[in-house]
Amino acid sequence: MPEGKRTTLEIQNVDKHFPGVQALKDVSILLHEGEVHAIVGENGAGKSTLMNIVFGLIQSDRGKIFRNGRQVFIDNPIDAQRLGIGIVPQELSLVPLLTVMENILLGMMPCRVKGMLLDWGSMSKRAVKVLEQVGEYIDPKAVVGHLSTAQQQIVQIARAFSFGAQILIFDEPTSSLSLKETDNLFKIIKNFQNSGGSVFYISHRLEEILEIADSITVLRDGRKVAELAPAATSLREVIRYMVGKEVEEAKRTARFTPEGRETVLRVENLTRAREFRNISFELRQGEILGLVGLVGAGRTELVKCIFGDSIPDSGSVYTYGQKTLHKSPEDAIKNRLAYVPEERRKLGLFPILSVSENMTMPILKRLTRLIWIDKKMQSAQVQDFVKKIDIRTPSLKQRVQNLSGGNQQKVILARWLLTGCRILILDEPTRGIDVNAKSEIHQILRDLVEREGISVLFISSELQEVMKIADRILVMHEGVLKGEVIADQTTQEELLQIALS
Amino acid sequence: MKTYGNSDKEESLTLLRKVLHFKESGILIALILLSVILSVATDKFLTPYNIGIVIRQVSFVAIVALGQTLVLLTGGIDLSVGNMAGLCSILGSLLMVSTKIDPYVCTIIAMLIGLILGTISGFLIARVGLNAFIATLAMGEVYAGLVLVITKGYPITGIPPKFRFLGQGMIGLVPVPVIIMLVITGIFAYVLKFTPYGRHIYAIGGNELASRLVGIRVIRIKMSVYAISGMLSALAGIIFVSRMNAGQPTIGPSWLMPSVTAAIIGGTTLSGGEGTVLGTIIGAIFMGVLANGIVLLDISVYWERVIIGAVVVAAVIIDILRGRRF
């Protein structure tokens, strides 16, 4: 903690109660000038609630906030902006069809003739100035929807800069950035810090928090359980505070031996224009095959194509030794494949349907007696899996949107296990999921391959995770398969080298 | 965590909570309140004759609204229902008047035409990818135009007398159209709750992309709901022919707004995935009673549309407020 530095924001004894949960209890935090203050905790620990209070999206039940020593009342985001507080949300809030400069200056576009006519010239100038401040060049006339996620994030940061933010809240900023883009973001944050700005930084990636933060506040069940200095702590300690106990590192599976194992999935020279080309690999029974690559490598496009969501231009897919063409996901599911997409909320869940329905949606026909769904059989099967993989839900009728991220992911896993799938394709299955749930999901996957002989194709941007869970790792870059390594004989550096070579 | 002594009270509380938990309870309470107010305000409301008129009028709109509910549940909307009912009823009555085909067979043919027209809308929306709003609006215009081309605006008369039973008959004390409405409601309630087809409809409305990825035949199911909506519109239209003894070229458009309204105030959301046919039926009855009340209380009928519009806005606001509580 930099002693003597001025306190720029003080959160004092904040409480927040939601129906059924005490989201925050007596939380106090000091944010100093030029400080990057990380807030960590499991999902549901209260990080987002706290940041929403600071940004005025919700109001606390009790407690005070001081800005530069003066008590302030932040009733809405406009108050927050006036106080120099900006946010870079996880789900970027940009207008995709408008240009970069319009997005940056949204709500305060310069006008001529008393607000009747937009002054495009000065708008462009101001946008460029702000972008220079951020230290990135993006064409101000570019349409935001055509930019990469990283560039869009920079537009979002620029918007915060444009009203002179001195405090920036970053909510999971790196979750969809590549390593290089992450480095770049850190550079921007460091610059901001050096010019006296302060940052609240929320992330599940503890390694990067240890790298960038000046202090770490750990929340658990709405309470502040620790404030740590990165220099004087370790990953292990942070995790211990987060979960309140030691997380057991799941044991590595015994070395996987490909000999004598059936090849369940073989891809040969699979090509789809502008997405990927000449991809060939094999997946054996009971194997976890990792698939890594920087953002834009074409991993998701490849697996979606294997799953029948798109049709390849050339090349072929063999399943269980037979040549197959999946024309639709339905075909692939019949062929006992399963795909857990990356964007859980958008592509995987039926938020307002129940846990039970979410789990049985693909197998309803199998649960049908004559013309009605056998509800008893349905809940019996669901109950079985809820126990087996420990899905924490108050009831099977609970709407799945009320579950935590980890439990939602388990619901989706259970859904596919219920279909009796043999080949499980997971796309970033642990993104946005807290450490504890993450290691649980890893354990579930290990059990599955060992006991049931299921094969898993595992995509993740977290190289360490893939190295820990996979047997072999495929490396893709810009639509091309660059190489293959044995997971426990490689390093992050080697993987990156292969990708970029 | 049971405490003895006040378990009765607790039980009645949970019962109340259960009642309130039903999405239909809001509109049901509103309907009861409205009925009580009307019964007090005028002695003409709670008479068997008046109730008979209201429920029979409601049944036409309700049959259309049931199809509309299916479409709304998938996240779509069918704005062609009214004009489709008009076109199919005109074609059906032409067939009855100018050929010797049994009028009940003509009814089935008219329903098949509705089914085919609905399938066309469904194809444009689900397969070609048109926006449901614009596709059905445009198709509705086509049907309205065809009606005028065929009839030149004159009603088709000379409907065989034996056909009157469908729209004017009674079984016991209950008008036939009401029975048809109840039967369809029963079938739909069952299908939506207990069959994979029904649950897939909710799934598509809740998350279409996810539905595709779990192997639901999204395109086929979306096409089917428009087909069903078309078929039910045709049915309602042809029952109305039987009721009026004539094919009226003007019946259609007046059914569109009430069909959407009944579903919405009955708890179906425009974004899809949420709603029940029971709610729609209660919603339709509510709208019918409201219109009836306007007449009975001697309020100028010109106010009817103003009041109905306001009720819809109020219903949607209540829905939003209720959503916030959780």
Taking only the tens place, the pLDDT of each residue in B164-202 is 999 899 998 899 999 999 999 999 999 998 898 999 999
B242-264 mean pLDDT: 88
- B77 part of a folded domain: yes
Domains and CATH numbers, chain A: 7-243 (3.40.50.300), 261-336+421-501 (3.40.50.300), 351-420 (no CATH)
Residues B263 and A184: their CA atoms lie apart, in Å, by 52
Residue B1 maps to a domain: no
Distance CA A295, CA A301 (A): 11
- What residues contact residue A475 under an 8 Å CB cut-off, 6+ apart? A292, A293, A481, A482, A483, A484, A485, A495, A498, A499
pLDDT for B287 beyond 60: yes
* Within-domain flag for B10: no
**Helix segments in A26-136, DSSP class H:** 47-54, 77-82, 100-104, 120-134
**pLDDT for A33:** 93
Which pLDDT does position B18 carry in this prediction?
60
By CA distance, what is A18's nearest residue in B?
B326
Residue B213, domain extent: 24-325
- A19: which chain B residues are within 8 Å (Cβ-Cβ)? 325-326
Please compute the mean of the pLDDT values over residues B247-273 and round it to a whole number: 87
The sheet with strand A288-292 has its strands ordered as A337-340, A423-427, A455-459, A288-292, A472-477, A480-486
pLDDT in tens, B209-238: 889 888 889 999 999 999 999 999 999 999
Q: Name the minimum distance, in Å, from the CA of B235 to any CA of chain A.
A: 25
Neighbours of A104 (CB within 10 A): 31
Does B214 lie at the interface with A, CB-CB under 8 angstroms? Answer: yes
CATH value at residue B266: 1.10.3470
Q: Find the residue in B nearest to A326 (Cα).
A: B215
Interface with chain B: mutation pick from A350, A355, A360, A427, highest number of B CBs within 10 Å: A350
Give yes or no for residue B15 having a pLDDT over 70: no
Beta-carbon-side half-sphere exposure of residue A212 (alpha carbons within 13 Å): 31
Q: Residue B322: what pLDDT?
A: 63
How much is the pLDDT for A424?
Answer: 95
The one-letter amino acid code at A399 reads R
Please check whether residue B208 touches A, CB under 8 A.
no
Average pLDDT over chain B, rounded to whole?
88
- Classify residue B44: in a domain, yes or no: yes
Low-confidence stretches of chain A (pLDDT < 50) are: 1-2
Segment B84-104 mean pLDDT? 94
Sequence letter at residue B35: S
Q: Specify whether the CB–CB gap between A270 and A279 falls below 8 A.
A: yes
Residue B245 pLDDT more than 60? yes
**From residue A405, how far is each of A172, A393, A411, A417, A435 by CA, in Å?**
14, 12, 10, 18, 11
Give the integer Cα–Cα distance in Å for B80 and B84. Answer: 6
Share of chain B above pLDDT 90, in %: 61
Can you give the pLDDT at residue A251? 54
Q: Are A220 and A241 in contact (CB under 8 A)?
A: yes
A331-342 CB burial, b ≥16 within 10 A, e <16: ebbebbbbbbbb
Mutation target for A interface from B207, B319, B325: give the one with most A CBs within 10 A. B207
Contact between A137 and A131 (Cβ < 8 Å): yes
| More confidently predicted of B70 and A371 | B70
Residue B123 lies in a domain: yes
Q: What is residue B20's predicted lDDT score, i.e. its pLDDT?
A: 57
Is A361 within 8 Å of B273 when comparing Cβ atoms? Answer: no
Interval A99-130: pLDDT, tens: 898 888 887 777 776 667 778 888 888 899 88
Return d(Cα A72, Cα A413) in angstroms, integer.
46
Best mutation target among B127, B187, B208, B214 (most A Cβ atoms within 10 Å) is B214
Contact A382, A406 (CB under 8 A): no
Q: How confident is the model at residue B131 (pLDDT cuts 50, 70, 90)?
A: very high
How many CB atoms sit inside 10 A of residue A179's CB? 15
pLDDT above 50: residue B1:
no
- Position A1 scores a pLDDT of 45
The confidence score (pLDDT) of residue A107 equals 74
User: Would you say residue B16 lies in a domain?
Assistant: no
Q: Which pLDDT belongs to residue B178?
A: 95
Task: Examine residue B212 and state whether it is found in any structural domain, yes or no.
Answer: yes
Number of domains in chain B: 1
State the pLDDT at residue B84: 95
Q: What are phi and psi of A255, to 5 degrees?
A: -50, 130
d(CA A456, CA A448): 9
Whether residue B208 is contained in a domain is answered as: yes
Our CA-based measurement puts residue B129 at a distance from the nearest CA of chain A, in whole angstroms, of 17
